[in-house]
Structure 1
Amino acid sequence: MATYLFRGLLLALTMLNSGLVHAATTPDQPSVAFYYGNDAPTELLSQFDWIVVEAANIDSDHYRQLGQHGGQLFAYVSIGELDAWRETNTPIAEEALVTRNDAWNSQVADLTAPEWQQWLIEEHVRPLWVAGYRGLFLDTLDSYRLFAPDGDAAGRQQDALVEIIAQIKRQFPDMQLILNRGFEVLDRVHGDVVGVAAESLYRGWNPTTEVFGAVPDEDQTWLYKQLARVRDDYRLPAIAIDYVPANNRSLARETAQRIHAEGFIPWVSVPHLNQMGVGLVEAMPRRVLILFDKAKTEAGELAYTNAHRYLAMPLEYLGYGAEYRDVNDPLPNDILHGRYAGVVTWFDESLTGASHYAPWLQHQLENGLRAAIVGDPGVPLSGALGSLMGVREVSGLTAASLTPLSHDELVDFEGFSHPSPVPQTSYQILDSTITSHLTLSDDRDRRFSPIFTGHWGGLASYPWIFEQASETQMRWNLDPFAFLQRALALPDMPIPDATTENGARYWMTQIDGDAFVSRADLPGTPFTGELMLSDILRRYQVPTTVSIIEGEIGPEGLYPQHRATLEPLARRIFSLPWVEVATHTFSHPFEWESLQENDMAGQGQTLAKFNYNLPIPNYRFSLRREIEGSSDYINRELAPADKPVNVVLWTGNALPPEKALAIADELGLRNLNGGNTSVTHSNPTMTNVSPMLRPQGHYLQVYAPQINENVYTNNMLGPLWGYRRAIETYQLTDQPRRLKPIDIYYHFYSAASPGALRALHQVYEFVLTQETLPLYASAWSDVATQWYHAGIAKRLDGGWQIKGADHMRTLRLPTDMGWPDLERSDGVAGVRDVPVGRYIALSGEGNATLYVTSSQPRTPHLRYANGRITEWQASPTGQLRFGIAAEQVPLKVELGATQNCQVSAPGARIDQRGNATLLAFDHARAERIEVRCATR
C-alpha cells in the first residue's frame, strides 16, 4: 500500500500566483490515477493516461477494460517491505527481513540481501510481466531508513536500490517505472524512470493518529523543492499524491487545482487509495448502486423489482446506469463516494437477513455517498443512523387523522392521493437543513414528512410514491426525475444519450420470427412471411432486422412439411439489402428462468396448459443450441454468405440468464428485446416506460425501446388494429422528455389479419413524417451498450473529456451549461436545439473534448443529419470536410452558421436558408462535403 513516510502537509494558497507560471509552461502531462481497492471501477479509471493498481485486485476482465482507451497500467510493487497479506510462493530468509513497519503491518527488507532481490524479481515482477503489465509503481523505496537512517548503512541500501532498479530494466527493458520518492538516488536512476511521485505535498494523513491535516510549512517546502527538481532538472512528470477526508470532495478539487497550478500532476484521495480521487481529470461517476432484496423478489429475478422497473429508467435519462447488488450479500467495503453517484434502494418491507446493511449504510453516508431511499428503508432510521440523517420516525398514524399541509413540485407529478393514505414510514424532521416535500399533520397536531431530502440524500415513503387504481393502472405521485436529481445531488454535466444522433431521433425496425409458418386471413391464405415480404418489406425499404425461429421452419422443427416453401421465402427476405439477419432462437423459450439445461422440450405447467418452450420432438433444452445452433442453421441454410446472423432477438418473457448473454457475446451477436414500454394517451404514465438495460453479471441485456403489437392487441385477441397506438407511445416517449428512440417492433402474425396489417402501415407512415436517423437493431444495441460504459470526466481547466464514444455519439447538454465552444472543443461535430433538449453531436472518433460557452456557435457545424458521420475534419478557422452515410435512405444534412461560407457536396441539392445550409441527396452516402469560410 502507500508508503509510511509523510514529509508534510499544507501551506496557504498564497503561493498559487507563482505556481501558475509552472502550469502554463509545463508540457502536456499524463493524467494519473491510483486505485488499490477491490473490484476496480474500470469505467472511471480507464479515463486516465496512467493507472496505478494493486494487481492482486485486478482480474483479466479488469485488465482488458482498464486499457480500453489507451491507458497505461502500472502495478504496485513494494520494493522495501513485505505486506502481511501478500501471498508468497517462496519463503523469504529471515535475515532479509530486518524490522517491522507497524503502521502498515508489514516487514521491512534489507535491500542488499540477495534473497530479497531474487524474490522481488522472480516472485513479484516477473509474474506481473507475464500477466501483461508493462509498468510498475515502485513504492517504499526509503523504508530502509527505519533501520539505517543515515551514514554508510544508508548508502549501502541506496546502492542496492539502484541495482534493483537496474536489474528490472535489464531483465524487462520495456517496463516503465514510476518511483514513489527515491529522491536520494534520482541522480543515478532518472534515465530508467518515466515519473516520480511523492505523498503529502499540501495535505496528508498520519497513520499513527489517523488524522488528516495540513502539511507543516517546513515539510511542504522541502517536498516542493524535490518535486520541482524532478520537473525542472530531470524533465520528468512530478506527481503529488495528497490525502483529504473522503466526504470532502470540494477540498479534494481545491487541492488538485493547487497542485496543478504548481506544475505538478495531482492525485487527491484517501490514504488507502481505495476511493476514486481527483487528478488532472475528475472522472464523473455514471453508475448508481441499486440494492435489492433478492430473497423477497419474485423468482429472485432483478427484472421484477420496483427499483429496476420504475427507477432505472429515470436514472438512465439523467445519465446514470444501474449496478445491482443483493443487499444480503457482502457489500463493497471500499469508499464509494466518487465511484458511484449514489446508492438507491426500494425495499417493500424491513430487511430480515441483512444485519450488516445499517452499519454499512451509515459508514458510506459518513464518507460522502448519498442515498435515495424509496419505499421502506429496510432498517430503522434510529440511533446513530437517524441522528446522521436528522430525522425521527413517527408511529401510530391512522388514515382518518391525516391532513396534507403542504407539498412542492416533487409531489403531484402524475397525480395526488385523495384521501391521504397512511405512509409506510414517516418522519419528524430534526435538522433544519432537511427539506420536506410533503408535510402532513395528524389530529394531535404533529407534523411529519414521508418525502424529504437533505445533505445525505432523500427518502420517499410508500404509498405516497404511487397512486394505484389497479394492477395495470397507476400514476406517479412522486416526480422520480426530480427526486433522484435532488436526493443524489446530481451535478450538471454533459449527459450521454442513446436516443438521438446528429439531431435526429433513432429509428429501428425489428420483426420477431413468430408465426412465419402461419396463414393470413386473406384470399388464398398465403403464409404471413409471403405477405410481409410483398406488402411491408418491399414497400418500406428502411433498415429492418428480421428473425426466424428455427424450431418452426427448420428440418428439426415442428413443421418440416413446410420447409420446402418457408426456407426459400426466408432466403428471399434475408437477401433484401435493407434486411439485417437475426435469430429468434431454436425453441422460442417462453420463460427463460424456468428452463434448465437438458429439460425436455414442451415441459411446463401442464395443469395451466402452458409450456416453457415449443414442444419440439426429442429436444432437450440447451442454451448453446438455442443461440449458436439456430445461428448456424440460419447462416448455413438461409442467410446470404456475406450477411450472417448479427443479432439475437430474445423470446417469450425475454429474461435470458447470464450464460445466454455470454454465449451471444462470445459469438459476436448483439442482443435486443425485453422491457414493456407501452405508455398511451389512455394510460399516460411513466410507470409504463421500462429501462434501456438489464445488467446480468458481466453482460448487458438491451431492452427493446417500445413493446411489440402483442400488448396493444391483447395478445392478438383484439382490437387487431391496436398496434396503431404505438404511435402514442412514440409521442409520449418523446415529449416532454425524449426517453426512447423509435422502434417499430412486431411479429409476422401482424400480417395474418387485414386490421393488423393496416395498423402496421399506419405506424410506418407516421414514423416517415418524423425527423429520424434509421439504423439496424445491431447498431442501436451497440449504442445502448456503449452508453453504459462511456466515460465523462471534468478537466481542471473546465473542459469535459469524453471517452468511448464511437457508437454512442450524442451528449445532451443541460441548457444552463450553455453551448459547445466549437473552436476549443475536439471531436464535436455540432449541436441542435429542439424542444426536448440540446443535443451535441460527436464525430464518432471515440474520444472527444468539450468546452462550453454562453454563446451559440459561430463556426460551421452539423445541426441535423439522418445519417452517421464516417469522417470528420475541422479546423479552428471553421473549415470543414466530412463524410456521412445513411442506412438505405436518401441522405439529408443541415449545417449551421454557414452564412459566410461556401458549401460543396457532389450530387447534393443545396439550399441556403439564412445562416443554415440544407443538403439533400438522392443516395445514402456522401463521401465529401466541404465547407470553406471567409477568413474572420
Structure 2
Amino acid sequence: MIRWLEVGALCFLVLLSCTTAVAREGTRPSVAFYYGNEAPVELLDQFDWIVVEAANLQAGQRQALERHGGQAFAYVSVGELDPWRPYPEGLPESVLVDHNPDWDSRIADLTRPEWQRYLVEQRISPLWEAGYRALFLDTLDSYQRFAPEGDEAAAQQRALVALIGDIQQRFPGMKLLLNRGFEVLDQVHGQIVGVAAESLHHRWHPSSGIYGPVDAADRQWLGDQLARARDQYGLPAIAIDYVPAADRELARDIARRIADDGFIPWVSVPMLDQVGVGLIEPIPRRVLVLYDKSETEAGELAYGNAHRYLAMPLEYLGYGAEYLDANGPLPSDVLHGRYAGVVSWFSAPLANAPAYSDWLLGQLENGLKAVILGDPGVTLSSPLGEFMGLRSVSLPDQRNLEIVAHDALMGFEGMPDRSGFFEGGYAPTRAGLTTHLTLRDAKGTEFNPVITGPWGGIATAPWILQQATEFQLRWILDPFAFLERSLDLPVVPVPDPTTENGARYWITQIDGDAFVSQGDFPGAPYTGEVMLDEILSRYRVPTTVSIIEGEIGPTGLYPHLRSRLEPLARRIFSLPWVEVATHTYSHPFEWENLVDGDLAGQGQTRAGFNYNLPLPNYRFSLEREIAGSTDYINRHLAPPGKPVKVVLWTGNALPPEEALAISERLGLRNLNGGNTSITRSFPSLTRVSSMLRPQGAYLQVYAPQINENVYTNDMLGPLWGYRRAVETYQLTDQPRRLKPIDIYYHFYSAASPAALNALKQVYDYVLTQETLPLYTSTWSDIATQWYDLGVARRLDGGWQIRGATQTRTLRLPSELGWPDLSRSQDVAGVREIPAGRYVALSGQGDALIYLTPRPPATPHLAMANGRITEWQAHSPRLLSMRLAAEDIPLKVELAAVAGCRVDAPGARQERRGDALVLHYSDAQSGRIEVSCGQ
C-alpha cells in the first residue's frame, strides 16, 4: 500500500539506467505503479519500469513482467510498518514510535538497529532471493511526524543514508528508487536511480476522499524539487497524480501536462489498483467474460453462449476473452483501464445476485463498460437499474407484439417479423440512452429489448440469436457493431493472427485417426500409403502429421500391424516438409469425462461410444496420453533431430488445464477444437468459433476450420463433402478475414476415391490463393502470443507494440490512415486488400508506429509467402532484409521501388509498375537490399 505523509506527499519512483529498446533510443522511460491484487501482466509488461507489491504477485509473474526487457521494482516501506503484514519476529514494540492515521500504519524510528535489521533481513533479503533486483523505497519521510526538524530529524536522515549504503553493500547491483527523500538527495544521489513525488497537478485528500487541483504554491515547490533531481543530479523525475477512476480523459490531460513540464507522468487512483496513464497508455486487449458455471454442461465454459458466439467477434475486434464464473469471487480492484469491458450472457438469475449487482454497479461507477446479453442475472429494479437508467417492462400478454422500429444494429443475418417468446424488455428512464429496437403490445405498451448507453449495452432474447432450424442459428443482432458501440471501443491498430506480410496464413494438419485402415483402392493399401503417394508427395507444403500410439504401437489395439505401420509412419515423418505431432495414446473422445485411473473403454458417451480407445489393461493417465505418446514417437518413429512439436487434441478437443500444462512443460504446441464450418447453405457466423480457449494459466488453440468429418457426416456421406471447406475459407475471408486457411483432415480421407479427390480439390483451390504456409506449431505460437501482445498509445501520438516476435501483423482501421514509414520503427510494409489494411512488422519484438493520411511512397514490403528473419531500415530509402519460407520456394513483392536498385541474389525479378516481384525458384530464403538514392 502507498503511504501518505502529513503534507499529503506520496513517495514514488524515478529511473536512471535504461536497458530496454525504448530507453536505448534516448526517449524517457515509461513507468507504471500497480499494487492491486491481481496484476494485469499483459498490460504492465509494456512499461520499461513497473513498481509492484511483490506479495500480490503470483508465481512467475515477476518474470513475466520482465519478459520484454522491463524492470520490476518491489515495494518496500522504509519508515512504516504496514498494518496488513505479519508483525516482524523479534522486533521490539519500542521501535514503533508513532502512528499514521491515513493508513493505520505505525511509524518506525530509523535510527534503531532492530528496525534496520528487519528491513534488510526480513523484507529485502527475501525479495532478493525471489529474483528482484530493484526496490522502490517508500515512506522515507515518515519520521517527520515525530521529528520534523532539528537534531532529531538530522539523526533520522543519517540513519536513512546509512541504510541505503548498507542495502547497496549487502545486495550488489540492486537498483534503488526513492519516494521523495529530497533532504538526503545530496548524499545518496549516486546510489539511487531516481526520485518521484505525487500530486504535481491533481491530488487526492486522504482525510476527505476528495480529488482536486493542486494549488499554485505547492505545485511550484514540488516542481522545483523534481527539477533539481532531474537537472542537478541527472535523475529522471516522476510525478504521480490522482484522478477519479472513471475520468480517463482527465487522466490523459494530466499526464500530458506532466510530460510538458519535463517529468515522467503516472496518473491513476490513490490505491494504485488501476492501470493508469503514463508516457504510454496500454490499450486493454482483454474483456472479462462472466458466465454461470452452473448453467453449462459439466461446468465447461466452451458450452456457454458467450464462448460459443461472442468470443469470435471479440477476437476479430482485437480483444481476448478472460472468463470468470459470476457466482464465484469477483475482482476487487478497479477494472476500468485493465479490461476493455465486461460481458455477461446468462440464462437465469444468478445464485449470488445481490453481491453481483453491487459489484457490477461499483465497476460501472468507476467507468467500466458492460455488455449484458440474455438474462442480466439480477433485477434491474435495484440501484443498478437506476444507474443505468432502465426500468423493466413486464409482458403479461405477449400475443400480437409488433415491431415499431429498429435501426441498422438489428437484422445482421436476418430480421424476424416477430417471435413467439420474449424475456421482456426495458424502458429508458432518462436521456442519453439509444433504443435500437422498439416493440408494442396489443394494449399499446412499448418496450425496448436492445438499448445502449454511457454504461454499455443490453440485449434480451430472442433478439440476439434466432433459431432457424433445429441445428441452425443466425444472428439478429450485429455482434461486431453492438460490441463496438456498447464498450465504446477505441479506434486502434488491431493485432491480427490471420495474415502476415500481406498474405493469409495457411496451415495443414492430419489427425492420426484411420492410419490403421485400408483404402477402397486396388490392393487395399493402408490409408497412410495412399496419403503418402497421393497427397504428401504431391503437395509439398508445410504439413503437421500425427499418429495415435494406441492404434499402431506395441501396447495398442493392433500390435500385429506394427511391422507394417511403423515403417510407414517413419517414411512420412522423414519428409522434409512434414512436422511431427502426437494424437495422444488412447484418443480421448470426451476429455471431461475421463479421470486418471479410469479403465480404458469402460465409460459410455451419450452416443454409445467409449470415452477413449479400449486399450488392453490401460488405466487413463494424462501424462501417458501426452508425454508417453510423445516419447514413443520420438524413440521409434521420428527421424533423429526431428522430435514431436505439436499435440493435436482428440475427440471433443476439450483438454483440461493439466493436459495443457503437460504439453507446455514438454515444449509442445497445441491445436484442435472449435467448430468453424460456415458454408453457403448455412452462412451464419454462429458457425465460426473463437481462436482460443483459456484454461487457467494456459491457452488451448482451436483449429481455424474444422476437419472433413463435419463436411461428410462422419464419413457416412457425402464422401466428397470436404470440398465444401473451400466455402468456409471464402466466408471466413470476406467481408471480414476471420481465420487463416486450415486444410484439416484425417487419414480417413485416403480411404475412398471420392474423399481423396475432394481433398485434392481443396489443395488445388488453396494453391491459387495468396498465402503464407506455416507449420501448425508456428501458427499456434502466433495465436498464443496474440492474446498477450501489447498495444499502447504514446503521448506523442505514436503507437507502441511490445513483444511482437510471432504475431507480426496489425490491421489498421481506415480512419487511422497509413503507417508513416519515415518515422516508424520496425515496420516493414503495408498492404490493402478487400479484407482490410494490413501492416507488416519486422518481428524483432518491439515496434513503433506513427500514422499519416497518405499511403507510403517509400520502398516497403507488400506481400511475401515467407517470414522476415532479418530487418534493418538504414533510412526510409535504404533497406536490407532476409525472408524465409517454411519448406517452399520464397516469393516476395516489394512496393514503391520504381527507380530503386534491388539486390536479391538468386531471385528472378519481375517488374509490375512501381512494384517488383522476386521469385526464388528453389531457394526457401533470400537476402534483399533496396537502395533508392538520396
TM-score range, shorter chain: over 0.9
**Aligned counterpart, 1:805:** 804
Hey, what's the Cα distance between the residues in 2 that align with 1:927 and 1:86?
Answer: 59
Hey, what's the Cα distance between the residues in 2 that align with 1:900 and 1:255?
Answer: 48
SS at 1:38 equivalent: coil
In the alignment, is the contact (CA less than 8 A) between 2:403 and 2:418 conserved in 1? no
**Aligned counterpart, 1:199:** 198
**Aligned counterpart, 1:352:** 351
Deviation at 1:421, TM superposition (A): 4.2
* Runs of at least 5 residues in structure 2 that lack an aligned partner in the other structure: 11-24
Hey, what's the Cα distance between the residues in 2 that align with 1:850 and 1:501?
Answer: 17
Deviation at 1:927, TM superposition (A): 3.1
Hey, what's the Cα distance between the residues in 2 that align with 1:369 and 1:811?
Answer: 26
Hey, what's the Cα distance between the residues in 2 that align with 1:123 and 1:601?
Answer: 52
**Aligned counterpart, 1:757:** 756
2:68 corresponds to 1:69: yes
**Aligned counterpart, 2:304:** 305
**Aligned counterpart, 1:701:** 700
**Aligned counterpart, 1:617:** 616
Hey, what's the Cα distance between the residues in 1 that align with 2:520 and 2:161?
Answer: 86
Deviation at 1:693, TM superposition (A): 0.2
Hey, what's the Cα distance between the residues in 2 that align with 1:510 and 1:446?
Answer: 56
Deviation at 1:70, TM superposition (A): 0.6
SS at 1:469 equivalent: strand
Hey, what's the Cα distance between the residues in 2 that align with 1:67 and 1:877?
Answer: 31
In the alignment, is the contact (CA less than 8 A) between 1:9 and 1:217 conserved in 2? no
In the alignment, is the contact (CA less than 8 A) between 1:8 and 1:216 conserved in 2? no
**Aligned counterpart, 2:5:** 5
1:397–1:451 CA distance, 2 compared to 1 (3 A): farther
| 1:880-899 matches, cutoff 5 A | 880-899=879-898
Q: Which amino acid aligns with 2:530?
A: L
2:733 corresponds to 1:734: yes
1:406–1:671 CA distance, 2 compared to 1 (3 A): same
Deviations 1:305-340 (A, max 9, x none): 000000000000000001001111111100000000
Deviations 1:580-601 (A, max 9, x none): 0000000000000000101000
Q: Which amino acid aligns with 1:780?
A: W
| 1:433-832 matches, cutoff 5 A | 433-605=432-604, 609-832=608-831
1:768–1:221 CA distance, 2 compared to 1 (3 A): same
In the alignment, is the contact (CA less than 8 A) between 1:7 and 1:200 conserved in 2? no
Hey, what's the Cα distance between the residues in 2 that align with 1:240 and 1:421?
Answer: 60
Deviation at 1:374, TM superposition (A): 0.9
In the alignment, is the contact (CA less than 8 A) between 1:6 and 1:204 conserved in 2? no
**Aligned counterpart, 2:48:** 49
Q: Which moved more, 1:490-499 or 1:144-153?
A: 144-153
TM-score by structure 1 length? 0.97
| 1:46-195 matches, cutoff 5 A | 46-195=45-194
SS at 1:291 equivalent: strand
**Aligned counterpart, 1:14:** none
SS at 2:875 equivalent: coil
Deviation at 1:431, TM superposition (A): 2.2
In the alignment, is the contact (CA less than 8 A) between 2:865 and 2:885 conserved in 1? yes
SS at 1:355 equivalent: helix
Deviation at 1:423, TM superposition (A): 3.1
TM-score by structure 2 length? 0.97
SS at 1:115 equivalent: helix
In the alignment, is the contact (CA less than 8 A) between 1:664 and 1:670 conserved in 2? yes
Hey, what's the Cα distance between the residues in 2 that align with 1:380 and 1:864?
Answer: 53
Hey, what's the Cα distance between the residues in 2 that align with 1:425 and 1:90?
Answer: 61
Hey, what's the Cα distance between the residues in 1 that align with 2:663 and 2:605?
Answer: 31
Hey, what's the Cα distance between the residues in 1 that align with 2:382 and 2:335?
Answer: 23
Hey, what's the Cα distance between the residues in 1 that align with 2:90 and 2:284?
Answer: 42
Hey, what's the Cα distance between the residues in 1 that align with 2:296 and 2:239?
Answer: 48
Hey, what's the Cα distance between the residues in 1 that align with 2:503 and 2:566?
Answer: 37
Deviations 1:224-246 (A, max 9, x none): 11011111111101010100000
Q: Which moved more, 1:875-884 or 1:101-110?
A: 875-884
Hey, what's the Cα distance between the residues in 1 that align with 2:101 and 2:929?
Answer: 67
Q: Which moved more, 1:497-506 or 1:903-912?
A: 903-912
SS at 1:85 equivalent: coil
In the alignment, is the contact (CA less than 8 A) between 1:862 and 1:894 conserved in 2? yes
1:741–1:639 CA distance, 2 compared to 1 (3 A): same
SS at 1:604 equivalent: coil
Deviation at 1:383, TM superposition (A): 2.7
Hey, what's the Cα distance between the residues in 1 that align with 2:102 and 2:506?
Answer: 60
Q: Which moved more, 1:666-675 or 1:181-190?
A: 181-190
Hey, what's the Cα distance between the residues in 2 that align with 1:709 and 1:398?
Answer: 47
**Aligned counterpart, 1:845:** 844
Q: Which moved more, 1:357-366 or 1:219-228?
A: 219-228
Q: Which amino acid aligns with 2:818?
A: W
Hey, what's the Cα distance between the residues in 2 that align with 1:666 and 1:571?
Answer: 25
Q: Which amino acid aligns with 2:175?
A: Q
SS at 1:797 equivalent: coil
Deviation at 1:470, TM superposition (A): 2.6
1:482–1:445 CA distance, 2 compared to 1 (3 A): same
Hey, what's the Cα distance between the residues in 1 that align with 2:744 and 2:457?
Answer: 38
In the alignment, is the contact (CA less than 8 A) between 2:34 and 2:275 conserved in 1? yes
Give the root-mean-square deviation of aligned CA atoms: 1.4
Hey, what's the Cα distance between the residues in 1 that align with 2:62 and 2:373?
Answer: 36
Deviation at 1:875, TM superposition (A): 2.2
Deviations 1:507-540 (A, max 9, x none): 0100000000001011111111110000110000
Deviation at 1:6, TM superposition (A): 7.1
Deviations 1:889-927 (A, max 9, x none): 221111111112111211111122221111111024333
Deviation at 1:440, TM superposition (A): 1.5
Hey, what's the Cα distance between the residues in 2 that align with 1:159 and 1:241?
Answer: 27
Deviations 1:259-318 (A, max 9, x none): 001110000000010000000100110010001110111110010000000000000000
Q: Which moved more, 1:37-46 or 1:56-65?
A: 56-65
Deviation at 1:7, TM superposition (A): 4.9
Q: Which moved more, 1:370-379 or 1:470-479?
A: 470-479
Hey, what's the Cα distance between the residues in 2 that align with 1:536 and 1:913?
Answer: 34
In the alignment, is the contact (CA less than 8 A) between 1:88 and 1:123 conserved in 2? no
**Aligned counterpart, 1:22:** none
Deviations 1:192-239 (A, max 9, x none): 110101011111111111111111111111111101111111110101
Deviation at 1:422, TM superposition (A): 4.4
Q: Which amino acid aligns with 2:913?
A: G
Hey, what's the Cα distance between the residues in 2 that align with 1:659 and 1:344?
Answer: 27
Hey, what's the Cα distance between the residues in 1 that align with 2:876 and 2:63?
Answer: 39
Deviation at 1:886, TM superposition (A): 1.1
**Aligned counterpart, 2:207:** 208
Identity %: 66
1:9–1:127 CA distance, 2 compared to 1 (3 A): closer
2:397 corresponds to 1:430: no
In the alignment, is the contact (CA less than 8 A) between 1:865 and 1:893 conserved in 2? yes
Equivalent pairs, count: 920
Hey, what's the Cα distance between the residues in 1 that align with 2:615 and 2:26?
Answer: 68
Deviation at 1:857, TM superposition (A): 0.4
Deviation at 1:606, TM superposition (A): 7.8
Hey, what's the Cα distance between the residues in 1 that align with 2:787 and 2:293?
Answer: 23
Q: Which amino acid aligns with 2:921?
A: D
In the alignment, is the contact (CA less than 8 A) between 1:676 and 1:689 conserved in 2? yes
1:449–1:607 CA distance, 2 compared to 1 (3 A): closer
**Aligned counterpart, 1:920:** 919
1:425–1:144 CA distance, 2 compared to 1 (3 A): farther
Deviation at 1:471, TM superposition (A): 3.4
